[in-house]
C-alpha cells in the first residue's frame, strides 16, 4: 500500500496519482456511510437519543476493535507483533485522544440531534480546517488563491445545505455545533498523524495504536458515565463489525495518504463525504435528501475539489 501511495508530488495530481485519487474516494465513501450507519446502530442497539454515555461506549468498542484489526493485519504482514517506537508514543497517544476520543464524543452526540445527511456535510468542514492548518505547518503547502477559492466554493455548499427555518437553539448546539467541533478534532488529528509517521514510518502501526488508545479512553469514559451496550440481534452485530472495519480501513489509508502527499491535495477530497452520505442516508434511513437545495450544495462541493486540484496552466 505504501509503495502505491508514495509518488512524485511534483507531477500533475490528476494525471500522475490515479491510485491516490481512488484511495481518497474510497475513504470518503466509507466515511460517508458512517453517518447513516451510526444512526441505524442506535436503533438496533436500542440506544435512546439522550443516552450519551451508551453512545460513547458504542464508539469506544467500535474503535478499540478497529485498532485490534489494524494491528492484527500489520502483524500478519510483518510476521511479528507490531511495536510502536518509544519516540512516537507521545504523538500517537495525543493523536488517539484528539482524532478518536474527542472527535467521536462530539460526532456521536451531534449525530443524535442532526440528520445523517447533515452529519456527513458538516463533518466535511474539516477540509477547510486542514487546508488552513497546513499553511502554517508546511512550507510546501501554502494557501494560494486557487486553494482559497476552492474552499470558499465548497463552503458555500455547506452554507446552502444548512439554510433552514429551524431556530431551535438547543438542537443547533447539540447537533450542528458538536459536529463542527468534531470536524476540528479530525483536522488537528490529521496534522498530528502526518508528524507521527515521520517518527514511526509504518502508517498502519500509527493507525492501529491510535484507534486502540482512543477507543480505550472512550470505553472507560462511557462506563464511568453508566453507559450500557447489548447486542440485540445478528443485524446489530454485523453493523457494528462493519463500522469497526470501516474505521480500520479508512484511517489506515488516510494516514498513509497524508504521510506521502500534501495535506491540502488529500484533504480536499473529504468534500466527497457528504455526497456518499447523501446517497446512503436516502437508502438506509429513507431521508428526504434529493431536493434542489442539497443537490446545489453537492455540485458546489465537487466544483471546489476540482478548483483545488485542477492542473496549473503550462507556460507557452
**Closest to 147 (Cα-Cα) out of 266, 314, 316, 299:** 266
pLDDT tens digits, one per residue of 107-120: 777 777 776 556 65
**CB neighbourhood size of 296 (10 A):** 14
- CA 280 vs CA 23, 25, 29, 234: distances in Å: 19, 15, 9, 21
Check pLDDT > 50 for residue 312. yes
pLDDT: which is higher, 276 or 256: 256
Please count the residues of the chain.
316
Please check whether residue 258 is in contact with residue 79, taking contact to mean a CB–CB distance below 8 angstroms: no
Check pLDDT > 80 for residue 260. yes
pLDDT at 168: 44
Across 18-32, 133-147, 150-164, 209-223, which has the greatest mean pLDDT? 209-223
Q: Where are the domains of the chain?
A: 2-308
Which residue bears the cell 519516540? Answer: 87
pLDDT at 226: 92
Check pLDDT > 70 for residue 51. yes
Check pLDDT > 70 for residue 170. no
Q: For residue 266, what is its C-alpha cell?
A: 488529500
pLDDT at 173: 67
CA dist., res. 247 & res. 65, Å (int): 9
Mean pLDDT (the chain) is 81
Q: What is the mean pLDDT of residues 28-34?
A: 86
pLDDT at 167: 40
Q: What is the mean pLDDT of residues 269-275?
A: 76
Check pLDDT > 70 for residue 230. yes
Which residue bears the cell 443537490? Answer: 295
pLDDT at 183: 86
Mind spelling out the 3-state secondary structure of 9-49? CCCCHHHHCHHHHHHHHHHHHHHHHHHHHHHHHHHHCCCCC
Half-sphere exposure of 201 (CA within 13 A, CB side): 3
Check pLDDT > 70 for residue 165. no
Q: What is the mean pLDDT of residues 261-283?
A: 77
For residue 208, name the pLDDT band (cuts at 50, 70, 90): very high
For residue 281, name the pLDDT band (cuts at 50, 70, 90): confident
pLDDT tens digits, one per residue of 179-206: 888 889 988 988 888 888 888 888 999 9
Which residue bears the cell 476552492? Answer: 150
pLDDT at 150: 82
Check pLDDT > 70 for residue 82. yes
CA dist., res. 23 & res. 255, Å (int): 11
Q: Is the whole model's pTM more than 0.85, yes or no?
A: no
For residue 316, name the pLDDT band (cuts at 50, 70, 90): very low
Return the percentage of the chain with pLDDT > 70, whole number.
83
Mind spelling out the 3-state secondary structure of the chain? CHHHHCCCCCCCHHHHCHHHHHHHHHHHHHHHHHHHHHHHHHHHCCCCCCCHHHHHHHHHHHHHHHHHHHHHHHHHHHCCCCCCCHHHHHHHHHHHHHHHHHHHHHHHHHHHCCCHHHHHHHHCCHHHHHHHHHHHHCCCCCCCHHHHHHHHHHHHHHHHHCCCCCCCHHHHHHHHHHHHHHHHHHHHHHHHHHHHHHHCCCHHHHHHHHHHHHHHHHHHHHHHCCCCCCCCCHHHHHHHHHHHHHHHHHHHHHHHHHHHCCHHHHHHHHHHHHHHHHHHHHHHHCCCCCCHHHHHHHHHHHHHHHHHHCCCCCCC
Listed in sequence order, the residues at least 6 apart from 272 whose beta carbon sits closer than 8 Å to its beta carbon are 24, 25, 28, 29, 32, 301, 302, 305
Please check whether residue 200 is in contact with residue 192, taking contact to mean a CB–CB distance below 8 angstroms: no
Dihedral of the alpha carbons of 217, 220, 226, 231, in degrees to the nearest 10: 90
Amino acid at each position: 500500500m505504501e509503495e502505491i501511495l508514495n509518488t512524485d508530488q511534483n507531477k500533475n495530481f490528476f494525471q500522475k496519482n490515479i491510485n491516490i485519487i481512488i484511495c481518497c474516494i474510497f475513504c470518503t465513501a466509507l466515511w460517508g456511510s458512517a453517518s447513516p450507519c451510526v444512526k441505524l446502530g442506535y436503533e438496533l442497539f436500542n440506544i435512546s437519543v439522550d443516552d450519551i454515555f451508551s453512545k460513547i461506549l458504542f464508539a469506544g468498542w467500535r474503535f478499540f476493535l478497529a485498532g485490534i484489526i489494524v494491528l492484527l493485519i500489520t502483524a500478519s504482514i510483518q510476521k511479528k507483533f507490531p511495536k510502536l517506537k518509544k519516540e512516537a508514543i507521545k504523538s500517537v497517544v495525543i493523536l488517539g485522544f484528539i482524532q478518536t476520543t474527542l472527535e467521536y464524543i462530539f460526532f456521536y452526540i451531534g449525530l443524535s440531534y442532526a440528520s445523517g445527511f447533515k452529519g456527513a456535510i458538516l463533518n466535511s468542514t474539516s477540509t477547510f480546517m486542514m487546508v488552513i492548518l497546513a499553511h502554517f505547518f508546511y512550507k510546501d503547502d501554502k494557501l494560494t488563491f486557487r486553494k482559497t477559492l476552492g474552499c470558499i466554493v465548497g463552503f458555500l455548499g455547506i452554507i446552502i445545505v444548512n439554510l433552514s427555518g429551524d431556530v431551535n437553539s438547543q438542537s443547533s448546539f447539540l447537533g450542528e455545533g458538536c459536529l463542527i467541533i468534531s470536524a476540528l478534532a479530525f483536522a488537528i488529528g490529521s496534522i498530528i498523524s502526518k508528524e507521527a509517521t515521520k517518527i514511526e514510518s509504518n502508517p498502519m502501526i500509527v493507525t492501529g495504536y491510535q484507534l486502540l488508545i482512543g477507543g480505550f479512553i472512550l470505553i472507560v469514559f462511557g462506563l464511568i458515565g453508566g453507559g450500557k451496550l447489548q447486542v440485540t440481534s445478528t443485524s446489530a452485530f454485523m453493523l457494528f463489525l462493519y463500522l469497526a472495519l470501516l474505521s480500520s480501513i479508512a484511517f489506515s489509508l488516510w494516514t498513509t495518504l497524508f504521510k506521502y502527499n500534501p495535506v491540502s491535495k488529500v484533504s480536499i477530497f473529504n468534500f466527497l463525504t457528504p455526497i456518499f452520505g447523501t446517497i446512503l442516508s436516502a437508502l438506509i434511513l429513507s431521508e428526504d435528501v434529493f431536493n434542489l437545495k442539497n443537490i446545489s450544495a453537492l455540485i458546489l462541493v465537487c466544483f471546489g475539489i476540482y478548483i483545488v486540484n485542477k492542473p496549473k496552466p503550462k507556460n507557452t
